[in-house]
Amino acid sequence: MSEQGRGQRRAAEADVIVVGAGPAGSTAAFYLARAGLDVLLLEKTRFPREKVCGDGLTPRAVKELIGMGVDIDGPGWIRNKGLRVMGGGLRLELDWPDLHSFPDFGLVRTRMDFDEIVAEHAARSGGVTLLQEVTVTGPVLDERSGHIVGVTARRDGEDVTYGARLVLAADGNSSRLSLAMGLHKREDRPMGVAVRTYYTSPRHDDDYLESWLELWDGDRLLPGYGWIFGVGDGTSNVGLGLLNTSEAFKNIDYRDLLRRWVKNMPAEWGYTDENMTGPIRGAALPMAFNRQPHYTRGLVLVGDAGGSINPFNGEGIAYAMETGRIAAEVVVQALSRATPAQRERVLLQYPRILKETYGGYFTLGRLFVEAIGRPGVMSFATRHGLPHPTLMRFALKLLANLTDRRGDASDRIINALSKVAPPA
């Protein structure tokens, strides 16, 4: 054991430690435990807790929740039919596509309790020990191999050490564990920022997610979009997402921009400071695999820790859950192997699987965000695209990554483009 682990209380051993009980970590923990492994799921905060997000779940995320057996028909879940697009003075309602691969509805659930629901579902499945208010401070490395064999942490004011055969980093955009293992962000990947707040509003039970494609800062059209998602509890989640592909990115007061944006909305919607139920909060959006490799020396990256947010639309929850599930499948296979060399060969397939699954599509997304960062491109696309519903239905499938493998012509075009694009 390296110096990081000496002089600390040895607290627990597990087959796998998962650092972070967000959607990625909890999903991974669920599938690992279902395969019979002992999992230690470490969360630095205590549920319920805030998380900056639009709270909207596309059919991709809904599919993952259904696959895990999460009760999405209970109180607090609100379904939606599709996406309402606003821009260029036009309004277009697009239903989620009717596909074999995904459900035909989305959901809204606040992150205040969404993460807790998924984490507790994983803990109830058996085999998962969920520990809250445990701050992981660093890796424990094997002196001979340099592989991570546990983590050091702070719990109840005491330094503790947890050991495991493998460690999953699901600790979000900052991913301190990844940094401690020498994995830094790639500067050639897009980065976004999201800001949002909640307003009491009669629009709280809207059955469409609403996206505004034009964000103006004075006479500048910014690369990004605004959203209004009804939460169903008397409030709307109202926010905006911006990309770093514009020169204006570094000089924008995002919170002020959000306030100025909602001032132009109808008064009867109620999006005023007086109706705001909490502060405007912001968070970074790591996109298109901006931290790689996704496996190295016993550490597996999932969710935002590996930059798995979709650059087309800023969606993160679905890809967090999917990468958590994929990682769990690979880890289960690896830990069944007899020798360290055999286990390593299996684990090294994880980055390859992610690139095969998402790499070409994320490359298309990077080209997309670079394009809309150029002056006039977003305005042209909005003005000429929205009047054509067939084109916009194609765009919805592309931006939300919702296709069947053997679907209609639009599915085949999107799948072919993703296949021929070089992986991210």
Please identify, in words, the CATH class of the domain defined by 3-80+108-187+289-362: alpha beta
The pLDDT tens digits of the residues spanning 402-418 come to 999 999 999 999 999 99
Mean pLDDT of the 130-148 span: 96
pLDDT band at 390 (very low <50, low <70, confident <90, very high): very high
Which of these, 397, 399, 303, 325, lies nearest to 101 by C-alpha position?
397
Predicted confidence at residue 252, as pLDDT, reads 83
pLDDT band at 244 (very low <50, low <70, confident <90, very high): confident
Q: How far apart are CA 86 and CA 259, in angstroms?
A: 18
Predicted confidence at residue 104, as pLDDT, reads 97
Predicted confidence at residue 247, as pLDDT, reads 66
Predicted confidence at residue 218, as pLDDT, reads 75
Domain boundaries, given as residue ranges, for the chain: 3-80+108-187+289-362
Predicted confidence at residue 8, as pLDDT, reads 61
- pTM value surpassing 0.85: yes
CA 318 → CA 112, 122, 303, distances in Å?
A: 17, 17, 9
Q: The tokens of 19 are what?
A: 């650092």
Predicted confidence at residue 376, as pLDDT, reads 74
pLDDT band at 4 (very low <50, low <70, confident <90, very high): very low
Q: Which of 14-18, 111-115, 187-191, 402-406 has the lowest mean pLDDT?
A: 187-191
pLDDT band at 3 (very low <50, low <70, confident <90, very high): very low
The pLDDT tens digits of the residues spanning 92-101 come to 999 999 999 9
Q: Which of 3-17, 134-148, 178-192 has the lowest mean pLDDT?
A: 3-17
Whether omega before 293 lies within 30 degrees of 0, making that bond cis, reads yes
DSSP secondary structure code for residue 106 in this structure: E
Q: At what angle do helices 23-34 and 317-335 cross, to 10 degrees?
A: 30
Mean pLDDT of the 223-235 span: 94
Q: CB burial class (10 A; 0-12, 13-18, 19+) of residue 155?
A: middle
Q: Is the pLDDT of residue 190 over 90?
A: no
Mean pLDDT of the 45-53 span: 94
The pLDDT tens digits of the residues spanning 304-313 come to 999 999 999 9
Q: Which of 98-102, 156-160, 185-189, 332-336 has the lowest mean pLDDT?
A: 185-189
Predicted confidence at residue 249, as pLDDT, reads 64
Q: Is the pLDDT of residue 364 over 60?
A: yes
